[in-house]
A and B are shown apart, each in its own frame.
Chain A
Amino acid sequence: KAGVTQTPRYLIKTRGQQVTLSCSPISGHRSVSWYQQTPGQGLQFLFEYFSETQRNKGNFPGRFSGRQFSNSRSEMNVSTLELGDSALYLCASSLAVPGLEGYTFGSGTRLTVV
């Protein structure tokens, strides 16, 4: 079966711009979680969605937002980009309870803010 698909793979944006990242989970998976990965910080939890509802949110500013559609696909948006937002953004999907059977991760979107 197809894995978790994230688009685009790479993005270069300038400070102040906004960006939208997309994630298509494995078919049948209803929970989608987003993480920010940076060297030395590991994976920082952004938010988790299930059935179009945000169930949990990490400790990130309001510039970071997301949503989930009825087909379980998810998007995350970052507004007013800052240099520190440069990172690999990972999406992970699971059947229902996040990570209960282990996440399946996508390859990520590498965002560079210049």
Chain B
Amino acid sequence: AQSVSQHNHHVILSEAASLELGCNYSYGGTVNLFWYVQYPGQHLQLLLKYFSGDPLVKGIKGFEAEFIKSKFSFNLRKPSVQWSDTAEYFCAVKVYNNNDMRFGAGTRLTVKP
């Protein structure tokens, strides 16, 4: 079945540690890829997106993600996390010419001060 997989359910890091959250999808064809973040008590916000071109995209707050087409992956990275990055992170895929966007189950990130 077509799906979006986020393999890490809960990640716990100390401040200044590096972060990489995995995202894999199983949709064929052209896709648009997104990462959303949901801070505690807040609504979902767009972190970054990939449509085409340079597979390394930069988003807000120092986050970046790399699209590897051969691996159907779009992993999120940040070199040095802060306590304020504590949130839930969702990977999302929109298939070209399809009128919906599918989300992964989310990864909860806890950053210890």
A45 near B105 with CB under 8 A, answer no
**Is there contact, CB below 8 Å, between B34 and A99?**
yes
In contact, A50 and B94 (Cβ under 8 angstroms): no
Q: Closest approach, in angstroms, between the C-beta of B22 and any C-beta of chain A?
A: 14
Q: Mark B79-113, 1 if CB is under 8 A from A, else 0.
A: 00000000000101010001111111110000000
A70 interface contact, C-beta 8 A = no
Contact of A56 among B92, B99, B103 (CB under 8 A): B99
How far apart sit A45 and B92, CA to CA, in the bound complex (Å)? 11
Name A42's contact: one of B42, B45, B90 (CB within 8 Å): B90
Chain B residues with CB under 8 Å of A107's CB are 42-43
CB contact under 8 A between A48 and B99, given known A41-B105, A99-B34, A100-B32: yes
**Smallest beta-carbon distance B109→chain A, Å:** 14
Number of interface residues of A (CB under 8 A): 27
Contacting residues, chain B, for A105 (C-beta < 8 A):
36, 43-45
Closest to A57 in B: B100
C-alpha spacing A41/B98, complex, angstroms = 22
Please report the C-alpha to C-alpha distance between residue A31 and residue B94 in the assembled complex, in whole angstroms: 14
Q: Would you list which residues of chain A between 32 and 85 have a CB under 8 Å from chain B?
A: 33, 35, 40-45, 48, 50, 55-56, 58
Q: At the interface, yes or no: B46 with Cβ under 8 Å from chain A?
A: yes
A105 to B47 alpha-carbon distance, docked (Å): 13
Question: When A and B form their complex, which 6 residue pairs have the shortest distance between CB atoms, in order from nearest?
Answer: A42-B105, A43-B103, A99-B101, A105-B44, A102-B46, A55-B99
Residue numbers of A with Cβ under 8 A of B are 3, 31, 33, 35, 40-45, 48, 50, 55-56, 58, 90, 92, 97-100, 102-103, 105-108
- Mark B residues whose CB is within 8 Å of A: 6, 9, 32, 34, 36, 42-46, 49, 90, 92, 94, 98-106
Known: A40-B105, A102-B46. 6 other contacts (CB 8 A): A41-B105, A42-B6, A43-B90, A45-B102, A90-B43, A98-B100
